[in-house]
């Protein structure tokens, strides 16, 4: 009989199995031909055995939350450092997990030298890009077969958080300023030439929800993808981050239509960074809060899976280590801990875990 925890819906008349005794998410997803995973951090892995045990049990896919960003891999020009990434590669190998690469080109987590060097002319910028891709892809070739080549290339439209002024559909990053919109195509072509069977992904946020700004961002993304594919640019997948916000409406039909449009272009679509930001005004009980997060997760992941997304990755597993709690810009102002991931602070499965299990089955 179910003691602690909520019963998972089961056949009428049968006792519910306690949630803690159900097979882990990676197993449930795999049984349905899907992949479940989460973002992981090497410094926590080194310090906390329980963290490693949780990831080993529950996640089949792993994304380094920081360790494969430019700041980590090339902190000074020409000095590459794979030491922070190495323990994650070893961990993945020991636990039969696949590591995704995140991210080759991004306007954040840049080491201080990089934006300055990119301002030194087109040839210099191309050289820097080529060297980074060649070195990193050669080093990770045997272990990472899927990279976010470009992260967050689309400009935030008016009405979104941090909008970009003007009507450029692309984000005006140091890469854009150095090389124009072709920086995206150049990086994808270069990655394909360096490693012909590597899976190339563009990753983006703010394209999930039913708001006018997300609608514009989706249109901008479709425009970029169409442009790249028309030019014969190599590209395999769109990663949809899915940092969902409860204060924003979600509509399964709107989201599924977008996923369908991308898949109709011949691209795979995967969910890369799922978590849920709770509303400003919280329900009075933890139970009600968790039920709301679980309902949004079930709706979102259900729509994604039905629309053909095979892989779902959450941005961490436990609320304890979530950027939603640690990052001052997104942490709650009322001091409450955002409960936006499938496990609580004590690594107990939450209703969001059940929602993920249900949707992935
Ligand atoms: O969660 C990540 C946080 O720990 C890092 O400090 C930050 C900068 O490297 O990046 C966060 O992850 C971001 C991801 O790489 C891209 N999408 C948005 C994520 C949350 O900011």
Please report the pLDDT score of residue 1 as a whole number: 34
325 belongs to a structural domain: yes
From residue 314, give the alpha-carbon distance in Å to each of 35, 141, 199. Answer: 11, 24, 20
Please report the pLDDT score of residue 9 as a whole number: 45
Mean pLDDT taken over the chain: 95
pLDDT digits (tens, 9 = 90+) for 146-176: 999 999 999 999 889 899 999 999 999 999 9
Cα-to-centroid distance, 65 and ligand 1 (Å): 7
141 belongs to a structural domain: yes
341 belongs to a structural domain: yes
Mean pLDDT for 140-147 is 98
Provide the 8-state DSSP code for 235: -
Please report the pLDDT score of residue 6 as a whole number: 41
Please report the pLDDT score of residue 4 as a whole number: 38
4 belongs to a structural domain: no
Q: Which atom of ligand 1 is nearest to the CA of 330?
A: 21
Please report the pLDDT score of residue 16 as a whole number: 80
Q: The domain that contains 92 carries what CATH number?
A: 3.20.20.80
Please state, for a pLDDT cut of 90, what percent of the chain lies above it. Answer: 94
186 belongs to a structural domain: yes
**What is the DSSP track for 191-212?**
HHHH-TT-EEEEEESS-SSSSH
Q: Is 66 in the pocket of ligand 1 (CB under 6 A)?
A: yes
Phi first, then psi, for residue 15 (nearest 5°) are -65, 145
As for how many domains the chain has, the answer is 1
1 belongs to a structural domain: no
pLDDT digits (tens, 9 = 90+) for 310-357: 999 999 999 999 999 999 999 999 999 999 999 999 999 999 999 999
- Closest C-alpha residue for ligand 1 atom 9: 109
Q: Which atom of ligand 1 is nearest to the CA of 69?
A: 9
Please report the pLDDT score of residue 159 as a whole number: 86
17 belongs to a structural domain: no
Cα dihedral angle (221, 197, 311, 345), rounded to 10 degrees? -100
Cα-to-centroid distance, 319 and ligand 1 (Å): 15
Answer whether the bond into residue 161 is a cis peptide, omega within 30°: no
Of 84, 106, 203, 323, which is best to mutate to test ligand 1, by the most ligand atoms within 8 angstroms of its C-beta?
A: 323
**Residue 73 pLDDT grade (very low, low, confident, very high; cuts 50, 70, 90):** very high
Q: Which residues span the domain enclosing 188?
A: 22-360
pLDDT digits (tens, 9 = 90+) for 34-61: 999 999 999 999 999 999 999 999 999 9
From residue 356, give the alpha-carbon distance in Å to each of 47, 81, 157, 338. Answer: 28, 35, 30, 18
**Residue 17 pLDDT grade (very low, low, confident, very high; cuts 50, 70, 90):** confident
334 belongs to a structural domain: yes
- Closest C-alpha residue for ligand 1 atom 14: 65
Please report the pLDDT score of residue 14 as a whole number: 65
Q: Is 273 in the pocket of ligand 1 (CB under 6 A)?
A: yes
Query: The tokens of 360 are what?
Result: 């992935």
Q: How far apart are CA 92 and CA 98, in angstroms?
A: 6
pTM over the 0.85 mark:
yes
pLDDT digits (tens, 9 = 90+) for 231-286: 999 999 999 999 999 999 999 999 999 999 999 999 999 999 999 999 999 999 99
């Amino acid at each position: 009989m179910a003691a602690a925890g909520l019963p998972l819906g089961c056949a009428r008349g049968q006792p519910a199995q306690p949630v803690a005794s159900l097979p882990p998410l990676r197993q449930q997803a795999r049984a349905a031909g899907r992949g479940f995973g989460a973002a992981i951090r090497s410094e926590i892995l080194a310090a906390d055995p329980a963290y490693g045990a949780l990831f080993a049990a529950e996640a089949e896919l792993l994304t380094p939350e920081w360790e494969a960003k430019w700041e980590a891999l090339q902190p000074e020009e020409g000095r590459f450092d794979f030491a922070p990434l190495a323990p994650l590669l070893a961990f993945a190998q020991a636990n039969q997990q696949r590591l995704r690469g995140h991210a080759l080109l991004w306007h954040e987590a840049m080491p201080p030298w990089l934006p300055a060097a990119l301002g030194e002319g087109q040839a210099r910028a191309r050289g820097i890009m080529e060297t980074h891709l060649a070195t990193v892809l050669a080093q990770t070739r045997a272990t990472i077969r899927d990279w976010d080549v470009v992260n967050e290339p689309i400009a935030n439209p008016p009405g979104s958080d941090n909008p970009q002024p003007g009507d450029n559909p692309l984000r005006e990053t140091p890469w854009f300023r150095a090389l124009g919109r072709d920086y995206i195509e150049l990086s994808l072509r270069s990655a394909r030439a360096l490693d012909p069977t590597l899976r190339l992904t563009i990753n983006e946020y703010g394209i999930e929800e039913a708001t006018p700004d997300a609608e514009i961002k989706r249109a901008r993304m479709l425009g970029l993808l169409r442009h790249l594919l028309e030019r014969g640019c190599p590209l395999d997948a769109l990663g949809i981050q899915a940092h969902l916000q409860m204060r924003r409406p979600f509509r399964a039909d709107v989201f599924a239509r977008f996923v369908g449009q991308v898949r109709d272009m011949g691209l795979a679509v995967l969910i890369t960074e799922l978590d849920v930001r709770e509303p400003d005004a919280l329900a009075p009980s933890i139970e009600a809060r968790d039920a709301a997060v679980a309902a949004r997760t079930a709706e979102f992941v259900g729509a994604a899976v039905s629309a053909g997304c095979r892989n779902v990755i959450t941005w961490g597993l436990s609320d304890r280590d979530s950027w939603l709690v640690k990052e001052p810009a997104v942490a709650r102002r009322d001091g409450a801990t955002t409960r936006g991931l499938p496990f609580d602070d004590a690594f107990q499965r939450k209703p969001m875990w059940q929602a993920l299990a249900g949707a992935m089955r």
